[in-house]
Amino acid sequence: MSDFENLSGNDKELQEFLMIEKQKAQVNAQIHEFNEICWEKCIGKPSTKLDHATETCLSNCVDRFIDTSLLITQRFAQMLQKQSSGGM
């Protein structure tokens, strides 16, 4: 968010727009990463249909990445909270 600290009060709408677009780009990058990693891990050879094992593998793969991302996000939030309260 330090990229936006120098904007004046009149630019709040622009600031919010830029933050939303940055978040969208981060989500898209993460989805691309999921696709790439889970494809390599789960897809043996492409066919016209997903079999049950492949579908389960893909679902578990994405679930693990989402759980890990949430855990990391929560941990950083805890660290920031401790820093702001003088705990570190």
Question: Does the pLDDT at position 80 exceed 70?
Answer: yes
Q: What's the length of the chain? A: 88
This prediction's pTM: 0.57
Question: Residue 21 has what pLDDT?
Answer: 94
Q: How many domains does the chain have?
A: 1
Phi, psi of 86 (to 5 degrees): 85, 15
Question: Does the pLDDT at position 82 exceed 80?
Answer: yes
Q: How many degrees, rounded to 5, is the angle at CA 67 between CA 63 and CA 68? A: 115
Task: State the residue for tokens 């968010």.
Answer: 1
CATH number, domain at 15? Answer: 1.10.287.810
Question: Residue 10 has what pLDDT?
Answer: 60
10 Å CB burial of residue 57 (0-12, 13-18, 19+) is middle
Its sign, for the CA torsion 33, 62, 27, 39, is positive
CB of 15 closer than 8 Å to CB of 4 = yes
Q: How many degrees, rounded to 5, is the angle at CA 69 between CA 32 and CA 41? A: 50
pLDDT in tens, 1-54: 455 555 566 688 888 899 899 989 988 898 898 889 999 999 888 888 889 999
Q: What is the mean pLDDT of residues 49-71?
A: 90
Q: Residue 44's domain spans which residues?
A: 2-86
